[in-house]
Amino acid sequence: MSQATQHPPTEVRTGTAGQVFTSILTTGPVCRRDVANATGLSQASVTKLVKPMLSAGYIEEIAPITAGPGRPQIPLQVIPERQFSIGVKVMATEVIGVVIDLGGNQCAAVRQPVDGTDPDEVVGTVTALVAHLRERVPQARERTCGIGVGIGGHVDNATGVVRFSPSLRWPSVPLAGRLTAATGLPVTVENDVNSLALSEQWFGAGRGVDSFAVVTVGAGIGCGLVIDGDLWTGVSGAAGEFGHIRVAADGARCDCGRVGCVQAVANDEAIARAAEHAVGQPISSAAEAYRLATAGSEPLKEVFREAGRALGRGLAVLVNLMNPALVILSGEGVHSSPIWTDAVREQLTADAFSSIAMDCELLVRPLPDEAWAAGAAVGMLRRSVLGSLGRLGT
C-alpha cells in the first residue's frame, strides 16, 4: 500500500459500531429504529451492534415510549460516567486543563501559567496539572482513558510528534511519548483546531452534520475538517492549514515566510499592524483597534472589513474543495465579527462556485478557552471509545 493511501495503524476510523455509538451519543435518548434510519443500517444490524455496548456499560436502555401504533420503543442513551478524559490546551504562556465525561460534561478545569516554552518545562507543568485534576475528580481516577493534548501547529497525531509549533518554536518534539512516560497514562496529541472540530462533532454545533469545517481566527488562523463523519488530517497531520491559503499577491510577510496568506491579513497581529497604518498612530492590539472602530473610526472599520474579505476569499477556496453543509467560525478573534461578518459573506458569495456558498451555513460561534482543552479531551475519548467498540464482539 502506498504512503498516499495508507492510514497509520493508530488512527481511529469511525466504523459501523462507531457510527451507531455516535448516533446514540449525539441524538440520544434515541430508539434503535431511529439509529437505523440515521446510519442507513438495518434495525437488526443496529440491535446486534448495540448488545455488546449495553453489556460493556457504554449505553443503557431507559423507560419505553409509545409513539403511534406498534410496539413501544425502548430509547438508548450514553452513560456519561462510564468513561472520563483529561484534556490539555498548551499555549506559549499558559496551559489549560479540563476533565470531561462521556457525555461531554466538564467536571473540573484548571489554568496554569507556563514558565517558558522549553519542552521539559511544558511536560513538567502538564504532568503537575494532570495530577491536580485527578485529585479534583476522584470518581474519574479509575475510569480515565487518558490525556488529550491540543497544540497549535503541525502535529502528527499518528506518532504523537509535534513537527512544528510556531508559537512554541518546537521542531519535532515527541510530546505524546514524553507525557506518557511522565504520567503513566495514554496520550494523544492533536492540532488544537482539529480537537475543537471533534468536540463540535460530538457535543457542539456539528452534531448530526456529516461534513463541516471549523475555522478559528485570532492570534493564528486555523481549520479542522470533518468529512463524512471522520476528522480529515491528511497523510502527516497537516491538513486544514487554512491560514496559509494565498489570497493576495503581495502585502505583509506571514510567519511561514510567504506573503499573501490569509493569516498575514486577518490574524490579530496583522489587524493591529494595518490599523496603525490606517490611522497613523500606535495601536497596541486588535482589541484596541476594535474598540476604536466601534467608537466610530471608519478607517479602522475598513481594516476589519478587509480582514473579513481575506477570510471570505479563503473560505471560498475551502467550500469549493469541500462543499460542506456548515462552516463554524470561532476563536478569540470572533469578538470583532459584528464588523467583518458581512464582508466575509459577500466575498465568499462572490468567489465561490455556483450555489456552493448558499448551500453552506456560516455560523459564528464564540467559545471559552476551556472549550479548546475539552476538544483535546474529546479526541482522547474518541480514540479510546471507538477503539474499544471496534474490539467488542470480536
In eight-state DSSP terms, residue 369 is H
Asked if residue 68 has pLDDT above 70, the reply is: no
* Mode of pairing for the β-strands spanning 212-217 and 326-330: parallel
Closest-CA residue to 230 (of 44, 383, 4, 37): 383
Check residue 70 and give its pLDDT: 72
Residue of 104, 188, 92, 101 lying closest to 147 (CA atoms): 188
Residue 99's CB is within 10 A of a number of other CB atoms, namely: 25
Does residue 184 share a domain with residue 219? no
Q: Worst-scoring range by mean pLDDT, 46-50, 66-70, 219-223?
A: 66-70
User: pLDDT value at position 65?
Assistant: 85
pLDDT, tens digit, 9 for 90 and up, residues 169-200: 898 999 999 999 999 999 999 999 999 999 99
State CA 167 to chain mean position distance: 18
- The residue among 292 and 72 whose pLDDT is bigger is 292
Dig out the grid coordinates for 33 from the structure: 429504529
pLDDT of residue 252: 81
* Residue 344 placed within a domain: yes
Q: Beta-carbon neighbour count of residue 36 at 10 Å? A: 18
pLDDT at 311: 97
CATH code where residue 67 lies: 1.10.10.10
Asked, for residue 137, whether it belongs to a domain, the answer is: yes
Query: Which of 43, 42, 40 minimizes the C-alpha distance to 19?
Result: 40
Contact by Cβ (8 Å): 215, 315: yes
Print the domain residue range for 111: 81-199+370-391
Backbone angles phi, psi at 62, to 5 degrees: -120, -175
* Tally of domains in the chain: 3
Q: Tell me the average pLDDT of the chain.
A: 92
Residue 106 CB neighbour total at 10 angstroms: 16
What pLDDT is recorded for position 10? 35
In this structure, the answer to whether residues 50 and 99 fall within a common structural domain is no
Same domain flag for 219 and 350? yes
Q: Of all residues in the chain, what percent carry a pLDDT higher than 90?
A: 83
pLDDT of 8 over the 70 cut: no
- 160 and 113 in a common domain: yes
Do 192 and 276 lie in one domain? The reply is no
The pLDDT of residue 390 is 80
What does the pLDDT look like over 108-143, one tens digit per residue?
999 999 888 899 999 999 999 999 999 999 999 899
Query: Is residue 227 scored above 90 in pLDDT?
Result: yes
What CATH number does residue 225 fall under? 3.30.420.40
Rounded to whole angstroms, the maximal C-alpha distance in the chain is 74
State the Cα–Cα distance between residues 372 and 56, nearest whole angstrom: 29
End position of a domain, from candidates 36, 60, 78: 78
**Alpha helix ranges (H) inside the chain:** 15-27, 32-39, 43-55, 119-136, 175-183, 192-203, 262-266, 268-279, 286-294, 298-322, 337-351, 356-359, 369-391
pLDDT on residue 16: 87
Say what the pTM is. 0.90
pLDDT confidence bin for 38, thresholds 50/70/90: very high
- Are 266 and 327 in a shared domain? yes
Q: Are residues 325 and 253 in the same domain?
A: yes
Whether 144 and 247 map to the same domain: the answer is: no
Domain boundary among 27, 49, 78: 78
The pLDDT of residue 270 is above 70: yes
| Cα gap 257→2, rounded to integer Å | 31
Angstrom distance (rounded) from CA 243 to CA 261: 6
- Say whether pLDDT at 323 is over 70: yes
Beta-sheet pairing, 84-90 with 144-151 = parallel
Provide mean pLDDT across the span 360-373.
Answer: 96
- Domain-embedded: residue 3: no
Asked if 64 and 90 sit in the same domain, the reply is no
Among candidate residues 328, 331, 367, 380, the one with its CA nearest the CA of residue 100: 380
Rounded Cα gap, residues 153 and 148, in angstroms: 15
Instruction: Please state the rounded mean pLDDT for residues 328-349.
Output: 97
4 within some domain: no
| For residues 223-228, average pLDDT | 96
Indicate whether 327 and 231 sit together in one domain.
Answer: yes
Indicate whether 178 and 253 sit together in one domain.
no
Residues 116 and 94 in one domain: yes
Distance CA 352, CA 317 (A): 7
| Position with higher pLDDT, 281 vs 254 | 281
